[in-house]
Amino acid sequence: MADLDDEWPVIARLLPRGWQQAARETSAFLRARGVATPARLLRALLFHAVSTGSLRSTVTQLNHAQVTSLSDEGFRQRLRASASWLSWIAQRLAQRYQRRTPTLGGLRPRALDSTTIQDPTSRGTQWRLHFTIDLLTLDCDWHQLTDAKGSELLERTKVRAGDVLLADRNFLRPAGVRAVQQAKAYVLVRMRWTHPALTYGGRPLSALSKARTLRVGEAKAWSVTLVEPSGPGLSGRLVITKLPLPLARRAQRKAEKQARKKGKKVDPRSLEAARYVMLFTTVPEQSLDAEGVLEWYRFRWQIELGFKRLKQLLKLGKLPHSDPELARAWIQAKVVVALLLETLYRQAETISPWGYDRQEEAEPLALDSGDAAEPGTSPLPSTRRRRVAVRDRGRREAPPEEAPTRRNVGSFGELAS
């Protein structure tokens, strides 16, 4: 228990302001029966999210460590009531990265995708986690959890002026492109050969017909209009390159495998389209030429690696609950853990070796005894004075200079410079 109490204040410093009050506002913590404070409740929920044991073994360990004194059913009720609170925490952890995000020439590349989650007994998708990653920092800056009916939509994503959403074939819909344009942002989306209607020079266009004119390694762009049945067309560019034979054959084998899995015969045009990378983008040509569009799209793969880490390291795909409300809360707790680890890692890498900002004012934390600190006081008074002294000395001695901008994706930064 001593080790737990020693580490918890470090984790609590990474949480967004108002997280304890939010526990009461979202009805996650209304009374101290079995759990003394919101801090202890959150510790219990996060422990359950990372524990590989059963719920019963989780509760036993928490009770033995004197973090809680709950029955199995009592813990289920607490978990069920905490879904909105955990979502509140996760959203505000992600919003931190939105405020700190740099841009390249006024453009902010973000990879968008979703991953499915289901319990071991399910025969289909139960939940879908929608996710964006800032490709300049590799941080998750937005997410949303939906049930299996939550489609992959560009318009679902929160965007700001200057964003460039990089997405795969499932996202190219006129309504989504329109929504992104209205936010003064841009899309860079891969296309199927069965893409939405396009026109070129006022005439209908098939991307595959243009692709057939290319040689291996050649990249070419055409100014096209994406037809929207309910409104004016959307201007953009069709960008295509032809893959080398080994990569083309690998893509064709993947298309054949997917068709067999669905019990269907692969369409010959799907095999032909697998030889090309076809993209639709609304990014202006003066900002990104055809080669630049293709290079930027390559980095969309970072979000696939992010999902892989979530499922392999944090076991996001191993949903232990079949009850919808318990499952939602468990997934949100997993996302909170992932964002806290990301925050701790980023700060340790770029700010200080101990991984958190010691100068930042901390929200009053729950103390070892279960009592909250008085408002306006610090739970670590001996270090507070030392931090102020170091900060004041730093202000007097540090020469005025521009704060460095961190670049996580080396080659991406070089590419856009």
> Which candidate, 16, 12, 4, places its Cα nearest to that of 380?
12
**Contact between residue 204 and residue 299 where contact means Cβ atoms under 8 Å apart:** no
The sign of the CA dihedral 83, 89, 93, 99 is positive
pLDDT, residue 9, reads: 85
The sign of the CA dihedral 385, 386, 387, 393 is positive
pLDDT, residue 400, reads: 37
- Cross-strand pairs, 279: 190, 239
CA distances from 203 to 64, 199, 227, 230 (A): 72, 5, 11, 18
Based on its alpha-carbon atoms, the radius of gyration of the chain, rounded to whole angstroms, reads 25
Q: Degrees (nearest 5) of the Cα angle 164, 168, 169?
A: 125
226's enclosing H/E stretch is: strand 219-226
Gap between the Cα atoms of 180 and 154, Å rounded = 7
Give the pTM: 0.69
CA distances from 344 to 13, 334, 355 (A): 10, 15, 5
What is the secondary structure of 122-168 as a DSSP string? Answer: -SS--EEEEEEEETTTTEEEEEEEEETT----GGGS---TTEEEEE-
pLDDT, residue 7, reads: 77
Residues 6+ apart with CB under 8 A from 333: 45, 46, 48, 49, 82, 86
pLDDT, residue 404, reads: 33
> Which candidate, 40, 58, 88, 55, places its Cα nearest to that of 327?
55
Mean pLDDT per 10-residue section of the chain, whose length is 417 residues: 64 91 95 92 93 90 92 94 94 76 81 85 79 84 87 93 94 95 96 92 92 93 92 93 92 91 90 94 94 92 83 81 88 90 72 49 42 35 35 39 36 40
Gap between the Cα atoms of 46 and 332, Å rounded = 10
Residues 6+ apart with CB under 8 A from 239: 219, 220, 221, 278, 279, 280, 281, 290, 293, 294
